[in-house]
């Protein structure tokens, strides 16, 4: 396997669809952790999105290095989530585990709406946060952070997303992220502007949210002077 291999530390199929779409012009082979045959549980015990993303990228890179085929692979990992100001930043880094990992997002979303019952629009501000980490073959690493601002709606709405998308309202459109087409979402979001500037490129969670990644470590990624946008949540 050559330098054009990127392993993304996730088992989230929704995320991989978006990642492949975003990085399609790099000419790289893009594999999920599972597709690369790396079966390891990573304990995300960091206190910030950045720490958790770096923990995942570093651990998976260590495992990938054990395979001859992945000696030159770049490993990307993200940690992302929803921060609601009225709730003191909850669910934050615990977004995926909020109310239990096996709890459906329909239940999680409704619970958050219920907790904001009676709270006016101006106090329902929120943001999706994504930190993207890259671990390189030479042992170096870097992590970047991106956000998408919005507010929490009054009901679950939309089918074009997952995770917390159906309750995350983009004020400029007056609808949730899950009600926008992928194309319109890219046009409207801060990350979408970066994508158009890019040469597009964390990764969201719950929808994948966009972050800026600069790299000069491998020849198939743009240079540090050329921003690459990647998703996450």
Phi, psi for 142 (deg, rounded to 5):
-155, 160
Task: Mark out the alpha helices in the chain (DSSP H runs).
Answer: 13-22, 49-64, 105-115, 182-188, 190-197
26 burial class (0-12, 13-18, 19+ CB within 10 angstroms)? middle
CA distances from 20 to 92, 95, 135, 171, 220 (A): 26, 24, 18, 28, 15
Query: How many CB atoms sit inside 10 A of residue 212's CB?
Result: 18
Does the annotation mark 79 as catalytic?
A: yes
Question: Taking the CA atoms of the chain, what radius of gyration do you get in angstroms?
Answer: 17
- By the 8 A CB rule, do 14 and 162 touch? yes
The active-site residue, picked from 79, 85, 138, 219, is 79
User: How far, in whole angstroms, is CA 63 from its chain's centroid?
Assistant: 22
Tell me the three state secondary structure of residue 91.
Answer: strand
- By the 8 A CB rule, do 78 and 132 touch? yes
Active site amino acids = 79
């Amino acid at each position: 396997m050559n330098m054009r291999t990127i392993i993304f530390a996730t088992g989230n199929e929704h995320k991989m669809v978006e990642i492949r779409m975003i990085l399609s012009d790099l000419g790289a082979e893009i594999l999920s952790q599972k597709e690369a045959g790396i079966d390891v549980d990573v304990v995300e015990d960091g206190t910030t999105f950045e720490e958790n993303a770096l923990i995942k990228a570093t651990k998976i890179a260590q495992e990938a290095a054990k395979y001859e085929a992945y000696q030159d692979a770049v490993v990307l990992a993200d940690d992302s989530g929803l921060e609601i100001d009225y709730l003191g930043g909850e669910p934050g880094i615990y977004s995926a585990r909020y109310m239990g990992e096996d709890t459906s997002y329909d239940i999680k979303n409704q619970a958050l709406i219920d907790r904001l019952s009676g709270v006016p629009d101006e106090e329902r501000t929120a943001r999706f946060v994504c930190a993207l980490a890259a671990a390189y073959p030479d042992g170096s690493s870097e992590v970047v952070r991106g956000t998408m601002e919005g507010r929490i709606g009054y009901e679950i709405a939309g089918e074009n997303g997952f995770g917390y998308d159906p309750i995350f309202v983009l004020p400029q459109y007056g609808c949730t992220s899950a009600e926008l087409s992928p194309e319109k979402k890219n046009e409207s979001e801060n990350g979408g502007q970066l994508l158009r500037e890019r040469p597009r490129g964390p990764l969201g969670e719950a929808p994948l949210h966009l972050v800026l990644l600069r790299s000069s470590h491998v020849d198939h990624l743009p240079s540090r002077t050329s921003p690459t946008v990647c998703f996450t949540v």
